[in-house]
Each structure stands twice: as structure tokens, then as C-alpha cells.
Structure 1
Amino acid sequence: MTESTLSSALQEAASNSKAWPFLEAQRLVKRYREGKPDGAPILFETGYGPSGLPHIGTFQEVLRTTFVRRAYEALTGEKTRLVAFSDDMDGFRKVPTNLPNQAMLAEHLGKPLSRIPDPFEKYESFAAHNNAMLREFLDRFGFEYEFIAASDRYNTGQFDEELKNVLAHNQDILDIMLPTLRAERAATYSPIMPISPTTGTVLQVPVEVVDAAAGTIRFTDEDGSVIEQSALGGQAKLQWKVDFAMRWVALGVDYEMYGKDLTDTGVQSGKIAKVLGGRKPEGLIYELFLDANGEKISKSKGNGLTIEEWLQYGSEESLGFYIFPNPKSAKQLHPGVIPRAVDDYWQFRERLAEQPLDKQLGNPAWHLLRANGAPEGPEAPGAGDTLPVSYGLLLNLASVLGAEATSENVAEYLANYVGEPVDSPELNQLIDTAVNYTRDFIVPTLNKRAPTETEAAALRALDAELAAGNAQTSAEDLQTKVYEIGKDEQFGFENLRDWFKALYETLLGSAQGPRMGSFIALYGIGNTRKLIAEALAKA
């Protein structure tokens, strides 16, 4: 199959795919049926507020946007751009309690984030520090993007023409915004916020447009003096919803998604963009994350799961896999979802190579493997890769080892199981995260109960079968032996599930567990017999 044939096959499959990134991409294609008028690439944007460090919400928004971006490229064969925009001209509203130099920061409340000293004393400003962290964060995950800081555009005059346009339509924007505001807020609202020439703070005061074409405005400063000054060159900042719209028009943004909490912002900003002579971008409104209790995640409550915590217990790919499905449905985000996400990701990845193209495009692994590079041809690199054991099996092995579990001894067991040293970076990562997860979440909950009389009899039978075998017995043969004992009527199990539950609770100390044949092969027949002996000693 030639390269052009591959591309045609991919585009045809993409045009019929019901996977959500392709549905979004198909909608974006309809935006410009004859192509973008100026011939420029389709522009995707994600926004970032640098009052805090990048977090899991930042990751999911950039990743989901990238899914749509790659889907659009597969569908059309066209190049695209992704801009990560930092709103670092926003006023500093509250001092986060987890930052150093609290007193210094408190002195700069109200000023643009880009004009506040860095509390970490590493960069020229607080925003510069957090912008650097954002770029480091995005680079860490291999995202392809262009970074734009609001302060650069405002201060250098690159937004000046857009600011004049806002001033020229000041009343039109007020007509859109004032009906949406409470009376108290409406009394001080202005689409443009001047920066005080005396204190440097971003002012929330009524503004009179003196000369829109020249960019001149008049307002009352904090000390009561009436000031007439330019709004250009970084001497003013637009209100959030107006800034959102202005940015869409100024940059020519074609696609931007945002959370459900910004639904109203999207509506009002879309109206303002139209007033400014532009067009609201296409986009998806996604649901927000919930904690283990189904409550909205709050930074102040600390009831969420950070990306650092996820990566301590699972892989980047597993996080992406968990994020992928149903962006319009809320997802609970807590450590308990990680093991399944890891194993499900690898199952989907293994299945990918055997799937026809139309099924591949609905496979989350296809999108994840292509997220940070769009290879020619329909199949993503890494499709069909497999691991010799599941994450769940590694968790069971580590839990049996208990407090003594280390990456080194788990790797030794695994090397004996597969017959060669573990040298795969992905497998080594899986081992490290399994040990971490077991230590923090499984070992503290383990409780091996004593077997009942009939369960003890079944365990003795299993022990006898293992004693008669040898170290080379395959996992499948071991599984068969376990099955046969569970089906033997003399032991009185109503079904195999009861037998396996007894094995998990008496040998492993948990209500759920692995495929026992694989576990015995991995842990070793001799070590498994020791577990049985310990359980029988309690009978």
C-alpha cells in the first residue's frame, strides 16, 4: 500500500469515525468548507492562568485538545498549530498559602501577575516563574505547542489594534455584559481595566473612552485623582470575558475547549467576538473531575489527585487513557482508579495492531500513541506492544512481599518468570509504580483470614498438586489445577468464584486478586506452598 493510499484510507475512516475527537474534527472541517480564507493553519488554543502551578486540569485540557488536533490532521492531511496562552496580565487576587515570601506577595495584591516579584527568587516575576513551570510541564509530556504570554502581547503593543477595537465597541460590549451582572458589579464594570499609574494595580473602575482611535481613556485612580492616559502598550488589561474574545479574534483561534464552569464565559465571549468582527471558535465543554465521594475537586480542600501523585502510582499513558473517554461526563479522580486504568490501557494497546482501521480510530491507545507525533499511515507506533504481566499481577506479587517489596526483588521474580532480565523502560516503570501503590494503599489494608474447614481441605489438595509439579509448570497448567480443585464437589464450593475468593482472602489478604495460575508461576511454586502452609496454620 502506497503512502497516498494509506493517507486516503485514513481520511476516509476518519470521516466516518464516531470517536469523539473525530466528531470534533469533523465539526471543525465544516467551519471552513473551502479552507481557511487566508490559507493559514487551523489554530488550536489552550489557556493557562499563572496564579498557580500547572496541574492535572492543565494536562487534560492540553491532551484533549491535542486529541482533536491530531484527529483533524488525520482527517484532512493539513498541518495545524497549538498555542498555549498564559493570561499573565491578570491581577493577583489572593496569596496562595503554599508559597514562600508571603508578606512580600501580599504587598503586590492587585498588580498584574507579570509585575510581581518571584517569591522563589529565580525569575524576573511570579508569572515568569509559573510560565516557565508550564513550559517545563508541557515539554515533559512531549506536547507540541507555541507559547504566548499576554504580557508580551500587551507590553509590546501587539494587542494595541485589538484594544482600540474594544474601545470603539465599548458600549456594544457593555450592552452584552451589564445584563449578566449584579447591580453592585455593574456599577463599576468596564470592558477595559486601566493599570494605576501610581500603585500599578489593575483597577476595577468605570472607564470613559476619550479617543478610541488613539486608545485614550479617562478614569478615577485609587487616590481619587482623575487620570487620562493611554490604554495601549501594557497600560490596561481587558476584563476576562472580553480578553477571551479579543484573543480569539486577534490570534484567529479556531478551536478551544473549556470546563463546564466556564459555560457562561463561552457564551458571552462568543457574543463579544462577533461584535469585534470575529467568530467564536469551535470547542467542547467538558465536565470537571470529582473526588472519591463524588464531590467537586477543590484546590483549597485538597480533595483531588495531583498529576505527580498519579505518576507515582501509574503511567502518563494510563492517565491519558483514563481521561480519554466521554469528556462530557464527570470522572472521579482518586488513587483507586489507577490500577484498572493501567491494565486497560495496555489491553487496548495490545489489541490495536489486530483491529481494522475503523476500530483503531475508536481505540484510545491509537489517539494516545499519536498525540505527540502524527506518523504517516493509519497505525500508530507502539501498536501491538505487550507486557509479560499485568499491573494487577504485579500489585499482588508486591502485596505478598509486603513491607519487604522493592523494585529490585519484584524485578527478580519477574525475570525468573519470563526467563530473562527486565530491561524494558515501560516494564521497569510499571514495577516501580506497583511497589509504590502497594506500599501506600494495599499493605495497610491486608487482612489474611483463616480458612474454613472445607477451604482448608481444598488448600491441602492444591498444595499436594503443587508438590507433585515442578518449577517449569506453565501458568495455564497451574490454572487448570486450580480450576479442577474448585470444581471438585467434595469441597462444596457453589461456584468457582467462591473458591477464588477464598484463595484471595486466605493467601493474599484481599477480596480480589489475580489469575491464580499466573500468580503462582510468577511468585513460584515453593513460595506459594509457604503461603498455603501459613494459611493452614490458622485453620
Structure 2
Amino acid sequence: MSDLRDAAMSSKAWPFEEARKLAKRYEKAPPEKGYVLFETGYGPSGLPHIGTFGEVARTTMIRRAFEEISDIPTRLICFSDDLDGMRKVPDNVPNQDMLHANIQKPLTSVPDPFEEFESFGHHNNAMLRRFLDTFGFEYEFYSATDYYQSGQFDEVLLRAVERYDDIMAVMLKSLREERQQTYSIFLPIHPETGRVLYVPMKEVNAKDGTITFDDEDGREWTLPVTGGNVKFQWKPDFGARWAALDVDFEMYGKDHSTNTPIYDRICEILGGKKPEHFTYELFLDENGEKISKSKGNGLTIDEWLTYASSESLSYFMYQKPKTAKRLWWDVIPKAVDEYHQQLRAYPTQDAKAQVNNPVWHIHGGNPPESKMVVPFAMLLNLASVAGATDKDGLWGFIKRYAPDASPDTHPDLDQAAGFAVRYFHDFVAPTRQFRLPSDQERAAMQDLAAALGSPEAALDQIARKNAAMGNDEPLPEVDFHSDDFLQSVVFAVGKKHGFENLREWFQALYEVLLGQSQGPRFGGFIALYGVEETIALINKGLAGELAA
């Protein structure tokens, strides 16, 4: 066993923990179908959102972890329940009146409000596939409409007719008494109106494979369950799909977790083996409310990619999947910088640490080298003080800070610079609030400007700080423009001026000079922006020009 596989077998990273559970499923013999099948489900009732992507990203991480510890081939399918009836009209799409006129029709029978595709279902499927393809996911796309209408679900539908009473018994236990009176596991599609009907069954005929029911106008109909005339209710659909496709693994949100025993039991009644599951916590919007496709109250896939790389989104998805996380604009910079921190650490780690590093899972065991020599948060601050309108406005500062860097040799940094300018103008600039310094802060900032303007004064500040802390050793030779030296100068000035909690000193610098309460490592910011430029910025802050 290789060092990497050996490390993977004991890794506490959640994808490996789930992969080992799945491997136990076939520890005695490999699957008869010849592969392990991973599935993700998608309800195309609204435009795809980041939560939808998260299921595919996280499932792919578990799939890659499984492939590291097992030699059994794998497949991943993304199944769209696009035969589902449109129960309500999403708020964030055009042509609302047209959609209301098609309520309760299968999504693949509802006209596309964007007038680009054959139907609303086809439009939303295309949106999902476009994004998954952008990320390079290896998957196969399955459409419920195709599967029902082509007869590929006929066998499991006929089996459900035969075992109708057993499945109904499972479902009725979970329903209120009033709902029990009208519930059926089958949803017929009206032959004339094309609407998906939620009506009770008058007869379920196992011999003929048919159902009989009255439509909403009281007319009686008898339809075969095969050929796309009937679909399953959504809870039975889970179990039936698992049985029909022989699914080995599926993850879903915590809101489904109470239904897991129902899904499992229906799968078993229909002759299948229940898959392994993983439930994740839901994403929350800025107000701590659950993100909804129909409300459009969370970040969309395209919105994240407007301000940060796809890899940073994958990193966000990797982190603590069983913890509810706020998914809003302000999480993006942190995700970008933490992702690159992990990339930089990866080459220095042994196999055990590498398989626990998020970037192993994001990149399937082959992470690239990070060329982000300037953190994203620092680029945001640089965009602020430099007044940059595009990434070219940042590269002059970057080149001085890192002479060997260029857009060609550091494409991730070049891309991030463009994202930073866009993010700053859209989210940071409108919320900045500069203030004037207090008397204590003013004296300290005057001292800082003086120290930055004179290496001798800077060294004197550091020597005084060291002496106050009982350190009388002579100072070593220093690079006066290095991050560490400049940070020491800022630190020494703050101590000299009586800031017992240096966080208050740094916060003052951020609020007076950058218009925000949090900011970068200030020594690094000075090194990037430039010493002379920082002195000029301090003088502007002291003169009240920034607060004005």
C-alpha cells in the first residue's frame, strides 16, 4: 500500500470518512453492475444556486476519496426531476403571467420565460450543466422526463403497482390524517391539460399495470403507469430512483434527513439496496434564513464567479459541511485567501497532512502551485487607496512589491487583481466610513509617518519598544522595505503611544486611513502600497481629507 493510500485509510477528512463507509459496502465482493454509482439530485423549479453546485462538488470529493482507497470503478450521475409539476412561479424570472398560466405542468412542458430553450426545465438544466462543465466535473446528466417517457422507469413503476399497499403503508405513517385521505404515491399527468395531478386513486390494478382516478372536474380516467403517463410523488421518487438505478451514494440537505428512513424503506420494497447517505447543513443568507431557489435570496453561481475563482467556491464548499454557514458577499475574500494559504502549505506537508488538506480534495489529489504573492484582502485595500478602476491600476504596485511577478507568470494573481477591483467598487466602496483620529491616535500616526520617512527614526522606535520590554540586544541588519520590518515599526509606535490592546491601534489605522474597521497586516500593506505613498495617505487622514 502506498504512503498516500495508507494515509487516506486513516484520514479524518470528511470525504475519506464517507469513502471508507462506502468501501465497506463492497468489502466482500464488488458490485454486480461493475461500478459504484454516485448520484446527485436536482429540482429545476428555479435557477440553479450555489447549494445545487455544492452537492455535486462535495459528492465529487467523496468520489475522488473513494477512488484513492478502492480499485472499483465509479460513475456520477446528476439526475434532474424535470417532470415535476411547477407548483409556484419563481420570483426572479421574467414573463410571470405566462408562467402562472402553466402552473402545475411538468417543468419540461412549461415554456421558457427567457425564450432561449424548449422549456423552463430545459433552460434550468442547461444552466446547471453549463456551470458543472465550467468546473470540469465528470458526470452524466439524467433527465426524469427522458427516463419516464422512454420507458426506462417502467419496470420499477410496475413493481410499485404490485407493491402499492406496502409503499402506501410506509407513506401514510408520515402523513397527517387529512392528507392520508387523498394521498397516492402516483401522480398522473392529465392526458388533456398536461398538468401533474395530486388526486387519490380509485383503483390500482397490478394485473394491467394501470391506475384509475377522477380528475379535478370529476371525470374518471384510467392510465397505464408506464410510458411517461405517471410519475412518482417526490418522496417515493427518491426510493424508486435508488432502486431503479442501483444507486450506492447520495447526499442531500438536512431538511431531507427525517425522510431518509422513508426513502430507504421504499427502495427496499422495490427490490433495491438502500444507498449510503450524507446529510449536510443548509446555507443561510445575510439574515440567517435558508437560501431558496424560488426566492433568489442567496448568491448565485455566476455571482460568486464575478468576484472570485471557482476554486475558492470549492474551498468554501469543503469547509464543515455539517455546519450551517452564512453564504453572502463578505465570505468571498476570506475563502480566496484561505484557499491559497492551503495551496502554499501543501508542498511542505507529508502524505498524512496532504490528504487532510482541503486542496487535495478540491483538485483530486493534484493541486496546482499558488502564485498569489499578494493576498486578496490586501488587493482590496490596494484598490481602495490606489483608486484603481481595473487590474492594470494595481500591477504597478504589485511589480514593485514582487518584481518577478507578471500577469503571464502569475495568472492566478492577475485574475484576483481583476476580481479585487470589481469587488471593491461593488461592495467595499459604498460602505466605507472614514473618521478623524483621536488625539492619542493623531500623535501616534504622526510618529508613524515620521518613522516611515526615516530609517533611523524607525530603528529608534523599535529599539525603544524592545528596551521597554527588557530586550537590550542590538538590532540585526534589516531590510527597511520588508513586511516584517514595517510591521515592527507599526507595532513599536502603537506600544509607545500607550495602546495596551494593539488591536485598537490597528483598528484606528484601518478606520482613519481605509474607512473600515478591519484590514490587512499593516506592514504588508505598507510594503505593497509603498512607504512614501503610505506617508501621504497618513497625512491625508490627519488633515481630514479622507473623512471629508
By the TM > 0.5 criterion, same fold? yes
Instruction: Give secondary structure in 1 for the equivalent of 2:221.
Output: strand
Matched, 1:122 2:130: no
CA positional deviation for 1:495: 4.9
Q: CA deviation at 1:487?
A: 3.8
User: Cα offset for 1:343?
Assistant: 1.0
1:214-253 equivalent positions in 2, closer than 5 A: 214-253=208-247
Residue 434 of structure 1 deviates from its aligned partner by 1.5
Does 2:16 correspond to 1:22?
Answer: yes
Q: CA deviation at 1:407?
A: 1.9
- Shift of the 272–483 alpha-carbon distance from structure 1 to 2, 3 Å rule, reads same
Partner residue in 1 for 2:415: 429
CA RMSD of aligned residues (A): 2.3
Partner of 1:418: 402
Change (3 A) 1:458 1:276: same
- Could you tell me which residue of structure 2 aligns to residue 441 of structure 1? 427
TM-score normalised by length of structure 1: 0.91
* 8 Å Cα contact 1:43/1:80 also seen in 2: yes
Distance in 1 (CA, whole Å) between partners of 2:102 and 2:443 is: 74
Deviates more, 1:441-450 or 1:286-295: 441-450
Q: Tell me the amino acid that sits aligned with residue 478 of structure 1.
A: L
Query: For residue 171 of structure 2, what is the amino acid of its counterpart?
Result: M
* Partner in structure 2 of residue 478 of structure 1: 486
Alignment of 1:399 onto 2:384 = yes
Matched residues, number: 521
The alpha-carbon deviation at position 209 of structure 1 amounts to 4.8
Residues in 1 aligned to 2:303 and 2:126: alpha-carbon distance in whole angstroms: 21
Contact 2:370 2:412 in 1 (8 A): no
Q: Letter of the aligned partner of 1:483 in structure 2?
A: F
Question: Hey, what's the Cα distance between the residues in 1 that align with 2:419 and 2:153?
Answer: 46
Q: 1:210 to 1:487 in 2, by over 3 A?
A: closer
4+ residue runs of structure 1 moved beyond 6 angstroms? none
Contact 2:161 2:204 in 1 (8 A): no
For 2:355 and 2:10, locate their aligned partners in 1 and report how far apart those are by CA, in whole Å.
10
Does the alignment pair 1:385 with 2:393?
no
Gaps of 5+ in 1: 371-378
Taking the aligned partners of 1:537 and 1:109, their CA distance within structure 2 comes to 63
Match of 1:511 among 514, 517, 524: 517
Counterpart mapping for 1:43-442 below 5 A: 43-209=37-203, 211-299=205-293, 302-370=296-364, 379-382=365-368, 384-402=369-387, 404-419=388-403, 420-423=405-408, 424-442=410-428
Identify the residue that residue 537 of structure 1 maps to in structure 2.
Answer: 543
Code of the residue aligned with 2:367 in structure 1: it is P
Q: Residues 495 and 238 of structure 1: is their aligned pair in 2 closer, same or farther, counting only changes over 3 Å?
A: closer
Label 1:227 to 1:510 Cα distance change in 2 as closer, same or farther (>3 A).
closer
**Residue 460 (str. 1) matches residue 460 (str. 2):** no
* Local SS of the residue matching 1:119: coil
Overall identity of the aligned pairs, in %: 52
Q: Is the 8 A contact 2:343 2:367 kept in 1?
A: no
Residue 526 in structure 1 maps to residue 528 in structure 2: no
Aligned to 2:407, what secondary structure does the other structure show?
Answer: coil
> Which one-letter code corresponds to 1:395 in the other structure?
L
Q: Structure 2: how far apart are the matches of 1:128 and 1:25?
A: 33
**More off after superposition, 478-487 vs 390-399:** 478-487
Question: Taking structure 1 as reference, are residues 213 and 32 closer, same or farther at Cα in structure 2, changes over 3 Å only?
Answer: farther
Are the equivalent residues in 2 in contact too, given 1:290–1:296 (CA < 8 A)? Answer: yes
Q: What is the identity, as a one-letter code, of the residue corresponding to 2:100?
A: A
- Equivalents in 2 of 1:496, 1:325: separation in Å? 30
Post-superposition shift, 1:348?
1.1
Q: Alpha-carbon deviation of 1:21?
A: 0.7
Listed one character per residue, the Cα deviations across residues 382-417 of structure 1 (whole Å, up to 9, x for unaligned) are 1x5242111111111112234x54322112221222
Contact 1:164 1:214 (C-alpha < 8 Å) held by counterparts: no
User: Aligned partner of 1:531: which letter?
Assistant: L
What letter is aligned with 2:450?
A: A
Partner of 1:376: none
Distance 1:428 1:162, change over 3 A: same
Q: Write the distance in 2 (CA, Å) between the matches of 1:461 and 1:39.
A: 74
Task: Return the alpha-carbon distance in structure 2 between the equivalents of residues 118 and 303 of structure 1.
Answer: 22
Instruction: Assess if the C-alpha contact under 8 Å between 1:414 and 1:422 holds in 2.
Output: no
* Comparing 478-487 and 80-89, the one that deviates more: 478-487
Whether the aligned pair in 1 keeps the contact of 2:189 and 2:195 (CA below 8 Å) is yes
- Matched residues in 1 for 2:22 and 2:233: separation? 28
Of the structure 1 ranges 515-524 and 51-60, higher mean CA displacement relative to structure 2 is found in: 515-524
Task: Provide the rounded CA distance (Å) in 1 between the counterparts of 2:165 and 2:105.
Answer: 26
- In the alignment, structure 2 segments of 5+ residues that lack a partner are 457-478
Q: Which of 479, 486, 499 is the matching residue for 1:493?
A: 499
